[in-house]
Copies of this chain bind each other. A is one copy, B any other.
């Protein structure tokens, strides 16, 4: 099926500010609460939110096989479960409805009034009910940095890392949409000289610059997804901040992995950008040496050139970009991750979310966490208000951004942000 919605020459009759993340070539999917207090599935072009439930009720999706209530839901799970063919038909149709020379909706004020919303009239929700959330550890630079910091710089990568797309299960209940404040977590930390563990608010609150992909219903229990079928089971991507409390994590994580150091919150950007919308930005991933086992051998360009940024905005201050990275640095591709996840027969459902792990690049300014950027606090970051940061302070807002760009089009993800509130009283 042709991805006509990607045609870079297309223009829309809606206003789209210059450098918008959401030109008519993007057409992401999300869920929002409208000014009438109705939850609906929608998309966004420029700064206009579009109610797909209303569009469907008005007959704009005629000819596409969709249940009547497919967009009148509080999650995208059912729509995503309809599969790639449906996603493409719907995305192409939305593109056509908003083409500059299509008068159908453009010249119908009554319909426009029902369908279009200013961004300040809506409230973005979580786009999916996440059945299971997995986080990978797929940036070689990040794994090497962490190995150097906590183990042995000479043998920073563990023996399994170049063979296995290492991942672990995370907590889905505490995934929140961009904008929701994050409460500084409390927990146990390593004992001091008296042998008694510490207890209190984390002193080492960190962000992790990640992306996460969302799957469709992919396989039955016991049946792996072969690598050449993995891509069609990936709906799209969001920005992902895997908030981490390094001191809690350090004390608890041996031998079963991170738990309370991570599961107090993860923030995602609310618009899922489809893999289709990113098609023009495919690139080859890093050379894989040693060659992966046959079940992980992929063909074609499976990485994506997505520029990523992390910023800190202190309370009352202005933004400081503290890291610039790129999704293309991922050693293990999404396709390899999803294939590996199911090689043992593990079943994947519609709305499952799989994080990339921290995406660090090769240079120190491209590291995706405070842990790496300040090298465990040894090299504090100076902010534009004169203060320094080793980790994240109360009142700080952490903002992740990401976009692809060529000379014809820019496809972006908007913001993934969260402000840190002081810990509860203990």
Number of A residues, CB within 8 Å of B: 63
- With the chains together, A203 CA to B239 CA distance in Å? 39
* Cα–Cα, bound, A254→B168 (Å): 10
Stretch at the interface among A27-35, A57-65, A94-102, A256-264: A256-264
The DSSP consensus for interface residues of chain A is loop
The interface bits of chain A over 51-93 (1 if a CB of B lies within 8 angstroms of the residue's CB, else 0) are 0000000000000000000000000000000000000000000
Inter-chain contacts of A176 with B (CB < 8 A):
221
| A13 at interface by CB-CB < 8 Å | no
Whether the Cβ atoms of B168 and A346 lie closer than 8 Å is no
A331 at the interface (CB under 8 A from B): no
- The listed residue with most B CB atoms (<10 A of its CB), out of A169, A186, A265, is A169
- Is the beta-carbon distance between B345 and A173 smaller than 8 angstroms? no
Q: Are B222 and A132 in contact (CB under 8 A)?
A: no
Spot the interface stretch: A1-9, A347-355, A386-394: A347-355
Given contacts A168-B259, A245-B344, A253-B255, list 11 more A-B pairs with CB under 8 A.
A132-B173, A137-B256, A164-B197, A164-B251, A166-B256, A183-B221, A186-B224, A196-B290, A248-B344, A257-B257, A260-B346
Give me 29 A-to-B residue pairs in the complex whose CB atoms sit less than 8 angstroms apart, sorted by A's number.
Answer: A132-B172, A159-B191, A163-B188, A164-B188, A164-B251, A166-B252, A166-B256, A168-B168, A169-B169, A169-B171, A173-B349, A174-B221, A174-B346, A176-B221, A186-B344, A188-B293, A195-B290, A199-B294, A221-B265, A222-B424, A223-B424, A245-B344, A248-B344, A253-B255, A257-B257, A260-B340, A260-B343, A260-B346, A263-B344
